[in-house]
């Protein structure tokens, strides 16, 4: 039996200015009047986190990750306190807390820390005293009192992890769109809102670029089977439920299409073609905590080969350092970086039982003269790397090709 606690999370655009904070405060007010215990997790206002990172890079192009965390964790401290003040003005008892006050304990990986545990005593005490507890998302603290952050979009993870640790009745994610769509509705106007989606499909959509939910937040929700409700903070329309099982008669073949524009392609040229080399390269990258996505090795000629892979743009400085060390060690020729790429992905669990999805996808891109530079597939997704300027067009074409604009959820 779940506790009578609601966890609500409001993203950056939802609290971007005073007007929006007041609007959110009014919505919180209506929950309190229903008699629920309330924990509200908030992100930093508007583009605060991006602006702080820009500021850091003006001072030092390669800032230390510890200091980045010290800086960007301040964004959420501003929004929690302002929201608490807005609730006080409405005569509601509310208290704002930052990560270490809540007791969100993480590992030591600055800028992408993992939550190890949440000490719930403080939150429970405040909720039991009838207060609305407003928690700064995106941050935690190591066992040695160092401030950490949880990776971009990490307030989603804070909300889900808190909901799990409180055994909350509901975790609602308030954002600037009405739910999860078949594609980013800002790029594909024909995209349709999805009424219900499984954790597995949402996980794949999120990890392939549907930024509406952070991937790690979905992983945690799935592990603890806590349903999420994604909805708009701008109106009261129905949103999307993300849940474990949906009693489909027939699973939809394709659920959604995603676009990722923040990856870089790295190519290591003239790598000696012998056993153990790939293992060495990717072990070095893994030990630098680099998330490698697609990997392609070209056909070997004259005992050497080219290895290409994609990485998040944010890892580029680290990857440059690691690869220049690696190429010296293995005797490869050079490292080439290509920022001019975008990745489009077709996602759906029904793909497992429907052959021909890949062919249909490649055919649609070819017909529109969009060249595919890299391909990767999983059981429930197909991803293609294309030139950056073709990314949005490819997204719209694939959305249309798979008839998603006509679905109603
Ligand atoms: P928040 O600040 O509330 O966390 P985000 O900017 O992180 O909001 O995520 C919401 C954004 O995700 C939307 O504005 C939308 O442009 C984008 N988005 C990308 N793919 C999708 C999708 N499939 N469905 C809904 N939104 C999506
Ligand atoms: N403010 C953080 C970010 O911009 C966390 C979040 O928005 O969820 O990534
Ligand atoms: Mg977000």
Please give the share of the chain, as a percent, with pLDDT higher than 90. 87
- Reduce the DSSP state of residue 268 to 3 states and report it: strand
| Dist CA 39 CA 102 (whole Å) | 11
Query: Is pLDDT of 101 > 60?
Result: yes
Q: Which has the higher per-residue pLDDT, 1 or 59?
A: 59
239 CB under 6 A from ligand 1?
no
Query: Is pLDDT of 17 > 90?
Result: yes
Tabulate helix, strand, coil % of the chain (nearest 5): 40, 25, 35
Distance from the alpha carbon of residue 394 to the mean position of ligand 3, in angstroms: 24
Query: Is pLDDT of 299 > 80?
Result: no
Q: How confident is the model at residue 2 (pLDDT cuts 50, 70, 90)?
A: low
- What mean pLDDT do residues 325-340 have? 94
What sections of 245-351 are H helices per DSSP? 277-287, 316-330
Tokens of 4: 């009578």
Closest to 3 measured CA to CA, from 163, 227, 169: 169
| Dist CA 214 CA 333 (whole Å) | 37
CATH number for the domain spanning 72: value is: 3.40.1160.10
pLDDT digits (tens, 9 = 90+) for 143-184: 999 999 999 999 999 999 999 999 999 899 999 999 999 999
What sections of 129-257 are H helices per DSSP? 155-166, 199-207, 215-223
Does 45 map to a domain?
Answer: yes
Domain count across the chain: 1
| Dist CA 148 CA 216 (whole Å) | 16
Distance from the alpha carbon of residue 178 to the mean position of ligand 1, in angstroms: 9
Tokens of 345: 């992905």
Query: Is pLDDT of 246 > 90?
Result: no
Q: What is the pTM of this model?
A: 0.94
pLDDT digits (tens, 9 = 90+) for 193-230: 999 999 999 999 999 999 999 999 999 999 999 999 99
pLDDT of residue 100: 94
Tokens of 333: 């020729």
Query: Is pLDDT of 35 > 60?
Result: yes
Closest to 260 measured CA to CA, from 181, 368, 187, 316: 187
Distance from the alpha carbon of residue 172 to the mean position of ligand 3, in angstroms: 13
> Which run of H or of E encompasses 394?
helix 391-401
Contact 80, 48 (CB under 8 A): no
Does 51 map to a domain?
Answer: yes
Atom of ligand 2 nearest to the CA of 138: 5
Does 165 map to a domain?
Answer: yes
Does 94 map to a domain?
Answer: yes
Does 137 map to a domain?
Answer: yes
pLDDT of residue 394: 98
Contact 282, 353 (CB under 8 A): no
- What mean pLDDT do residues 377-401 have? 96
Closest to 195 measured CA to CA, from 232, 227, 228, 242: 242
Query: Is pLDDT of 407 > 50?
Result: no
9 CB under 6 A from ligand 2?
no
What sections of 306-390 are H helices per DSSP? 316-330, 357-367
Report the chain's mean pLDDT, rounded to a whole number.
94
Shortest-distance ligand to the CA of residue 53: 2
pLDDT of residue 256: 97
pLDDT of residue 255: 94
pLDDT of residue 409: 44
pLDDT of residue 353: 83
Query: Is pLDDT of 185 > 60?
Result: yes
Query: Is pLDDT of 382 > 80?
Result: yes
- What mean pLDDT do residues 33-46 have? 94
pLDDT of residue 298: 82
Range of the domain at 15: 5-176
146 CB under 6 A from ligand 1?
no
Does 270 map to a domain?
Answer: no
On the 0-12 / 13-18 / 19+ scale of CB atoms within 10 A, 237 is exposed
Distance from the alpha carbon of residue 41 to the mean position of ligand 2, in angstroms: 11
Q: Cβ atoms within 10 A of the Cβ of 384, count?
A: 24
| Dist CA 286 CA 282 (whole Å) | 6
Does 10 map to a domain?
Answer: yes
- Reduce the DSSP state of residue 375 to 3 states and report it: strand
pLDDT of residue 140: 98
Query: Is pLDDT of 60 > 50?
Result: yes
Query: Is pLDDT of 1 > 60?
Result: no
Q: How confident is the model at residue 96 (pLDDT cuts 50, 70, 90)?
A: very high
Tokens of 211: 């930024």
Does 136 map to a domain?
Answer: yes
- Report every protein residue that has its C-beta within 5 angstroms of ion ligand 3: 11, 153
- Cα-based distances in Å from 92 to 31, 62, 124, 218, 340: 11, 44, 17, 31, 51
> Which run of H or of E encompasses 56?
helix 48-59
């Amino acid at each position: 039996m779940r506790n009578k606690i609601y966890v609500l999370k409001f993203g950056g655009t939802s609290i971007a200015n005073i007007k929006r904070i007041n609007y959110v405060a009014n919505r919180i007010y209506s929950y309190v009047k229903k008699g629920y215990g309330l924990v509200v997790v908030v992100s930093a206002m508007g583009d605060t986190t991006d602006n702080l990172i820009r500021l850091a890079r003006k001072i030092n192009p390669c800032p230390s990750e510890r200091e980045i965390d010290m800086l960007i964790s301040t964004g959420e401290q501003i929004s929690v306190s302002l929201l608490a003040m807005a609730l006080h003005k409405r005569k509601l008892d509310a208290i704002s807390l930052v990560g270490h006050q809540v007791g969100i304990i993480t590992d030591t990986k600055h800028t992408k820390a993992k939550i190890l545990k949440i000490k719930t005593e403080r939150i429970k005490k405040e909720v039991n005293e009838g207060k609305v507890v407003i928690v700064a998302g995106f941050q935690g603290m190591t066992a040695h009192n160092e401030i950490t952050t949880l990776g971009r979009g990490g307030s989603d993870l804070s909300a889900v992890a808190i909901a799990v640790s409180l055994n909350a009745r509901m975790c609602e994610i308030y954002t600037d769109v009405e739910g999860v769509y078949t594609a980013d509705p800002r790029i594909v106007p024909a995209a349709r809102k999805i009424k219900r989606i499984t954790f597995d499909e949402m996980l794949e959509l999120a990890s392939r670029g549907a930024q509406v939910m952070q991937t790690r937040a979905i992983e945690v929700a799935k592990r603890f089977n806590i349903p999420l409700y994604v909805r708009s903070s701008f109106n009261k329309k129905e949103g999307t439920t993300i849940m474990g099982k949906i009693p489909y008669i027939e699973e939809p073949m394709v659920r959604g299409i995603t676009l990722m524009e923040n990856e870089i392609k790295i190519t290591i040229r003239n790598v000696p073609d012998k056993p153990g080399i790939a293992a060495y390269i990717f072990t070095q990258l893994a030990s630098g905590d680099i998330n490698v996505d697609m990997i392609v090795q070209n056909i070997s000629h004259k005992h050497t080969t080219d290895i290409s892979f994609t990485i998040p743009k944010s890892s580029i400085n680290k990857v440059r350092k690691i690869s220049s060390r690696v190429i010296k060690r293995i005797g490869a020729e050079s490292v080439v970086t290509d920022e001019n790429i975008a990745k489009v992905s077709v996602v759906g669990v029904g793909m497992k039982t429907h052959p021909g999805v890949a062919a249909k996808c490649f055919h649609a891109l070819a017909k529109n003269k969009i060249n595919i530079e890299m391909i990767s597939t999983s059981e429930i997704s197909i991803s293609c790397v294309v030139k950056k300027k073709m990314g949005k067009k490819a997204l719209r074409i694939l959305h249309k090709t798979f008839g998603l604009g006509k679905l109603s959820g």
